[in-house]
Amino acid sequence: MTEALKEFRLLREGDQVFLRFGDGETKTPVKLVWVRPISARGAEVSFIGPEKEELLMLSSLDALDPESRKIAEEEISRRYIFPRITRVVSATAFFGVRYWHVETDLGERRFALKNASKNAVWISQDHLVLNDTLGCRYEVKPYSALDARSRQRIEKVI
């Protein structure tokens, strides 16, 4: 850890996370976000202040002290819940909108997806991310683990 990184810590007060600098008195509320949440989740993390400005960016959570890292991991896990699709019950297209009924690791879901070329993103040959009309993301990972019928339904609509 560099000297500059030793000059801050994370602390939690209720549901809010704060970035506290070396003087111990200055603390700023922050939100933690992955810089590349889809393609490189787990790498760089950005600390966003109340005015939506980036206050700090780290290449890895490894740069944090153990207590700050625990807070960061908890906060990030709350922010990035991506239900993993385990089965596609139905997927239909109607006037350019794709309607999905799926089973996920978090239960059954129904959602709509517009503009499949933009909102169905292949991260790799075996990893698909779907962004629905409400801004929720769903993962299909590994794609090869889906049953043949589910894969067929996906291929029919995207």
**What is residue 2's predicted lDDT score, i.e. its pLDDT?**
37
pTM of the complete model: 0.63
Domain termination site, one of 79, 114, 145: 79
> Do 75 and 7 fall into the same domain?
yes
- Distance CA(138)–CA(53), nearest Å, equals 27
91-112 tens-digit pLDDT: 999 998 999 999 999 999 999 9
* Percent of the chain as helix, strand, coil, to the nearest 5: 25, 45, 30
Is the pLDDT at 130 greater than 90? The verdict is yes
> Do 74 and 28 fall into the same domain?
yes
- If one counts the domains in the chain, the total is 2
* Rounded average pLDDT over 14-25: 82
Two tokens at 92? 């239909």
